[in-house]
């Protein structure tokens, strides 16, 4: 004999119930079945709400009763032929009338006792099981209905009654010994006390009912039918990459179900474990899928972790004080207090010094626990031997579960390291002597991040997901997203990095997609997005709280650069080509570096100097290896190099600057490049990365632009001024030709002094043959004395800048 249990989603409506009936009929052809059913989806919640409203003298409870009645009548009318409906509809209405009478009593008395609530909640299963049993009879005559309350006897602990197995097992065995029907349908969740009063087995108790029946009958197996393909490695609603578990031991399943794996009610396993009856978790909507087999067989698999689970709404209560050290019975008194208040302890940890005991309980029990504990220890608290208990709410327990974890070293360290890298603070830790689970308490807001990052580490072949929030999607930003799209498959297969773009923003619009936007459609999605708002963008990033989050700044906006600290403090990495932050006040530059270290959030800005060239990275490596930079000479503006390489007697200065803008070599405001401030920022960043303290005002800027050009307020006026001063630029070019030199805008640092300006470069200088938009940097150091370390290559352009930003993102992925 098999026992099948169908949950609330499986019997949510007539359409779903038809699927259930098909499964039952197919299986009944092979052997006898016991079918246990839950209430229709959400009905138990509606009954709870109606009872609460009635007790609070809120007449809207009647509307809820009407909704419940309508839900069941609709199901019955769709499942039963019209000719057979009359008597059944009357029966349903009699049950509803009884329910309404009980609720009217609650309304009149203004109270709701646990005993009355159990009776009210029982109506969900009574209604659903009756309808399903009658629908089954239409297709399978050799079937019948049996009320579980006649078979399962409990104590009077209303809300979660304890089963009297000796009596119940005998009643179940006696009934089925004389039963000749192929299928028997029973309501789950409900029972009666030995004196005949309605009781319930706890929320999720329908699983328990099925297990009690299976154990009493020595069933061949117990099938739990739900809306997912078995137990998963994590909650699939939170962890999209979660995978079904094919086989799992009873002990592992108990651990996972205790820690919130909602496909199985924790007490379910005990009745079948004693009889070694396998449990199979199946999907009503995909009945051909294998599901999860729970048995006493421990599968031989390489991964010692079987699953990751969690419990929400946890409060930590800590009792501590010197008066507990060496005093026998402190723990006993604490747990006795909680037991007397019927408070379930979910998590326990104690310091080896005996100075403190920390327990985890549900948030709903927190106030009661605090009052009771402080009352029980009031003498010690008054004598300052023990502190009043510390209560911390809005927490969550995360647990790694696996039968084979005890045989593998380093799992705890791996778990803590993974959480630490994502700035998930661990409030408490517990590990049982069996080493079957490792549990930690964290802030509730970090649950999604924690579950996903742990799952990634333990189940996804070490594939690291990077979540990008991109601000600035002009020329460079467009190329950056194009490169991500092009390389996405390569990165996943070869570097085990999964790059997702979660948000994009320009100056007008911003668009967010928590699951990662399709990169082919990002432009059209952005146009449909909400109005751009820098503060709201930051708020959204914080609210999503995704693991491995990276803010990518591809603007030249000063206000955006002032937000970096807000991201870093949230453990969000910052990758930027915006030079303003790193060339701002030295204290701000150092603060950003400090925040990066403190919150374990990378702050990378390779493209601040030399676009995609590894200039900053080279300086970092020199300094880290003990070298010291004494002198820097550099051409750091690809745009200025392009301009002066193409400025000749055939091309006016105005036309060359225009062309540089068209090709994307200059900033949107070309004056930033031509004024020399951009180069000054770059040399300042190299100086600071070399270990020197300097401010932008300390760099001498020898501008070649006339004063009128510098004082213009928009691009149109600036280009007009370049035409007006054409002779000025021609005279500079003539002087260069006369000296047989080339014009280069050079940045220098030596002996603590720095300058930027236009220079006449002779033929024998390394800068002379620098073509196009290339950059070149010479580093003179302790190790590179006679011959400098030289870095040379393209230093401007959307594609190379984008590739430099992309390289910084990949660096974070490889950390």
Q: Give mean pLDDT, residues 686-699.
A: 96
**Quick one: pLDDT band at residue 767, thresholds 50, 70, 90?**
very high
DSSP H/E element including 168: helix 165-178
pLDDT beyond 60 at 592: yes
Look over the chain and give the mean of its residue pLDDT values, rounded to a whole number: 92
pLDDT value of residue 202: 86
Instruction: Give the whole-angstrom CA distance, residue 23 versus residue 239.
Output: 29
Closest to 389 measured CA to CA, from 335, 321, 336, 444:
321
Backbone angles phi, psi at 299, to 5 degrees: -70, 145
Closest to 673 measured CA to CA, from 633, 701, 707:
701
pLDDT value of residue 797: 81
Three-state DSSP at 445 gives helix
Please give the positions annotated as active site. 682
pLDDT value of residue 699: 96
Instruction: Give the whole-angstrom CA distance, residue 204 versus residue 6.
Output: 11
Tell me the pLDDT tens digit for each residue of 257-314: 766 566 777 778 889 988 999 999 999 999 999 999 999 876 666 678 889 989 899 9
With contact defined as beta carbons under 8 Å apart, do 193 and 155 qualify?
yes
Backbone angles phi, psi at 140, to 5 degrees: -135, 100
Share of the chain above pLDDT 90, in %: 76
Give DSSP secondary structure letters for 253-303: HHHHHHTT-TTS-GGGHHHHHTTT--EEEEETTSTTS--EEEESPPP--S-
The CATH code for residues 2-227 is 3.40.1160.10
Q: Give mean pLDDT, residues 17-23.
A: 97
Indicate the angle between helix axes 114-139 and 85-109, nearest 10 degrees: 170
Q: Do domains 2-227 and 464-608 have the same CATH topology?
A: no
Q: Where are the domains of the chain?
A: 2-227, 307-459, 464-608, 615-796
Backbone angles phi, psi at 314, to 5 degrees: -105, 140
Name the token pair of 148: 């579980």
pLDDT value of residue 225: 95
pLDDT beyond 60 at 166: yes
Instruction: Give the whole-angstrom CA distance, residue 60 versus residue 50.
Output: 8
Helical H runs in 663-754?
Answer: 671-674, 677-689, 707-710, 715-724, 726-738
Indicate the angle between helix axes 726-738 and 715-724, nearest 10 degrees: 60
pLDDT beyond 90 at 405: no
**Quick one: pLDDT band at residue 402, thresholds 50, 70, 90?**
confident
pLDDT value of residue 74: 95
Instruction: Give the whole-angstrom CA distance, residue 407 versus residue 405.
Output: 5
Instruction: Give the whole-angstrom CA distance, residue 550 versus residue 601.
Output: 9
Tell me the pLDDT tens digit for each residue of 322-354: 888 777 788 889 999 999 998 989 888 876 656
pLDDT value of residue 499: 96
Distances (CA, A) of 757 to 98, 666, 667, 728, 805: 93, 17, 18, 16, 28
The CATH code for residues 615-796 is 3.30.360.10
Tell me the pLDDT tens digit for each residue of 609-641: 998 899 999 999 999 999 999 999 999 988 898
- Maximum alpha-carbon separation in the chain: 117
**Quick one: pLDDT band at residue 643, thresholds 50, 70, 90?**
very high
Fold of the domain spanning 307-459? VC0802-like (3.30.2130)
The CATH code for residues 464-608 is 3.40.50.720
**Quick one: pLDDT band at residue 435, thresholds 50, 70, 90?**
low
Give DSSP secondary structure letters for 611-671: TTS-HHHHHHHHHHTT--EEEEEEE--HHHHHHHHH-BTTB-HHHHHHHHHHTT-S-SSTH
Which CB contacts under 8 angstroms, 24+ apart, belong to 738-746?
741/768, 742/644, 742/645, 742/767, 742/768, 743/644, 743/647, 744/635, 744/641, 744/644, 744/770, 745/635, 745/637, 745/640, 745/641, 745/644, 745/676, 745/679, 745/704, 746/633, 746/634, 746/635
Q: Give mean pLDDT, residues 684-692.
A: 97
pLDDT beyond 60 at 433: no
pLDDT value of residue 33: 97
Instruction: Give the whole-angstrom CA distance, residue 594 versus residue 214.
Output: 61
pLDDT value of residue 349: 86
pLDDT value of residue 434: 56
Tell me the pLDDT tens digit for each residue of 573-582: 999 999 999 9
363-396 exposure pattern, b = at least 16 Cβ within 10 A, e = fewer: eebbeebbebbbebbeebbeeeebbebebbeebb
* R_g (Cα) of the chain, nearest Å: 36
**Quick one: pLDDT band at residue 355, thresholds 50, 70, 90?**
confident
Tell me the pLDDT tens digit for each residue of 43-99: 999 999 999 999 999 999 999 999 999 999 999 999 999 998 999 999 999 999 999
Q: Which residues contact 136 (CB under 8 A, 6 or more apart)?
A: 21, 24, 25, 35, 143, 183, 185
pLDDT value of residue 167: 96
Handedness of CA 451, 453, 454, 457 (dihedral sign): positive
Q: Give mean pLDDT, residues 577-589.
A: 96
């Amino acid at each position: 004999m098999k026992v099948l249990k169908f949950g609330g989603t499986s019997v949510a409506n007539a359409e779903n119930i038809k699927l259930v009936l098909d499964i039952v009929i197919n299986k009944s052809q092979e052997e006898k079945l016991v079918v246990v059913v839950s209430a229709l989806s959400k009905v138990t919640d509606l009954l709870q709400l109606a009872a609460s409203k009635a007790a609070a003298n809120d007449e809207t409870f009647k509307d809820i009763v009407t909704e419940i009645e309508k839900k069941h009548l609709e199901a019955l009318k769709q499942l039963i032929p019209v000719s057979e409906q009359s008597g059944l509809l009357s029966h349903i209405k009699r049950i509803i009338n009884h329910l309404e009478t009980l609720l009217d009593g609650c309304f009149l008395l203004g109270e709701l006792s646990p005993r009355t609530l159990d009776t009210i909640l029982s109506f969900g299963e009574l209604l659903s099981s009756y309808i399903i049993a009658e629908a089954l009879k239409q297709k399978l005559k050799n079937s019948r209905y049996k009320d579980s309350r006649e078979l399962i006897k409990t104590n009077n602990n209303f809300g979660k009654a304890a089963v009297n197995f000796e009596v119940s097992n005998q009643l179940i065995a006696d009934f089925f010994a004389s039963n000749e029907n192929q299928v028997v349908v029973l309501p789950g969740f409900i029972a009666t006390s030995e004196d005949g009063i309605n009781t319930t087995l706890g929320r999720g108790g329908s699983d328990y009912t099925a297990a009690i029946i299976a154990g009493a009958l020595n069933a061949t197996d117990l099938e739990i039918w739900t809306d997912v393909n078995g137990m998963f490695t994590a909650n699939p609603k939170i962890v999209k990459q979660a995978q079904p578990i094919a086989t799992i031991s009873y002990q592992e399943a108990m651990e996972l179900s205790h820690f919130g794996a909602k496909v199985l009610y924790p007490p379910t396993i005990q009745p079948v474990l004693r009889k070694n009856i396998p449990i199979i978790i199946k999907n009503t909507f995909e009945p051909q899928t294998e599901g999860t087999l729970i048995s006493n067989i421990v599968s031989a698999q390489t991964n010692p972790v079987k699953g990751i689970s969690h419990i929400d709404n946890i409060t930590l209560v800590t009792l501590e004080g010197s008066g507990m050290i060496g005093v026998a019975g402190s723990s006993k008194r604490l747990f006795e207090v909680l037991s007397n208040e019927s408070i379930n302890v979910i998590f326990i940890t104690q310091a080896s010094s005996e100075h403190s005991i920390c327990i985890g309980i549900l948030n709903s029990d927190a106030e009661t626990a605090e009052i009771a504990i402080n009352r029980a220890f009031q003498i010690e608290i008054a004598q300052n031997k023990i502190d009043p208990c510390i209560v911390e709410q809005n927490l969550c327990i995360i647990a790694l579960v696996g039968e084979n974890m005890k045989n593998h070293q380093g799992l705890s360290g791996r778990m803590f390291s993974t959480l630490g890298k994502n700035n998930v603070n661990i409030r408490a830790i517990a590990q049982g002597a069996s080493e079957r689970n490792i549990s930690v308490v964290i802030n509730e807001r970090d649950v999604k991040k924690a579950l996903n990052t742990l799952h990634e580490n333990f189940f996804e072949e070490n594939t690291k997901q990077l979540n990008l929030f991109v601000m600035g999607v002009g020329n460079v930003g467009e190329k950056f997203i194009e490169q991500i799209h092009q390389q996405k498959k390569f990165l996943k297969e070869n570097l085990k990095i999964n790059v997702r773009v979660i948000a994009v923003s320009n100056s007008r619009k911003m668009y967010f997609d928590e699951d990662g936007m399709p990169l082919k459609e990002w432009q059209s999605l952005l146009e449909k997005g909400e109005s751009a708002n820098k503060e709201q963008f930051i708020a959204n990033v914080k609210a999503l709280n995704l693991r491995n989050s990276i803010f990518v700044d591809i603007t030249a906006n000063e206000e955006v650069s002032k937000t970096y600290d807000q991201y870093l403090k949230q453990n969000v990495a910052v990758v930027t080509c915006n030079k303003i932050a790193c060339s701002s006040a030295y204290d701000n530059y150092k603060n950003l570096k400090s925040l990066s270290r403190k919150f374990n959030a990378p702050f990378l800005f390779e493209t601040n100097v030399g676009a995609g060239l590894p200039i900053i990275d080279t300086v970092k490596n020199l300094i880290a290896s003990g070298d010291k930079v004494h002198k820097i000479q550099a051409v750091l503006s690809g745009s200025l190099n392009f301009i002066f390489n193409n400025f000749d007697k055939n091309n006016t200065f105005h036309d060359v600057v225009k062309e540089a803008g068209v090709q994307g070599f200059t900033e949107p405001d070309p004056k930033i490049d031509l004024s020399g401030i951009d180069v000054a920022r770059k040399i300042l960043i190299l100086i600071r990365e070399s270990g020197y303290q300097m401010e932008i005002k300390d760099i001498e800027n020898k501008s070649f632009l006339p004063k009128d050009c510098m004082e213009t307020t928009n691009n149109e006026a600036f280009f007009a001024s370049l035409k007006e001063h054409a002779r000025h630029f021609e005279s500079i070019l003539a002087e260069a030709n006369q000296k047989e030199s080339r014009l280069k805008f050079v940045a220098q640092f030596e002996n603590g002094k720095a300058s930027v300006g236009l220079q006449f470069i002779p033929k024998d200088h390394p800068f002379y043959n620098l073509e196009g938009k290339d950059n070149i940097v010479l580093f003179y150091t302790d190790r590179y004395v006679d011959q400098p370390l030289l870095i040379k290559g393209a230093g401007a352009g959307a594609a190379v800048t984008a590739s430099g930003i992309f390289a910084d993102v990949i660096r974070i992925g490889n950390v």
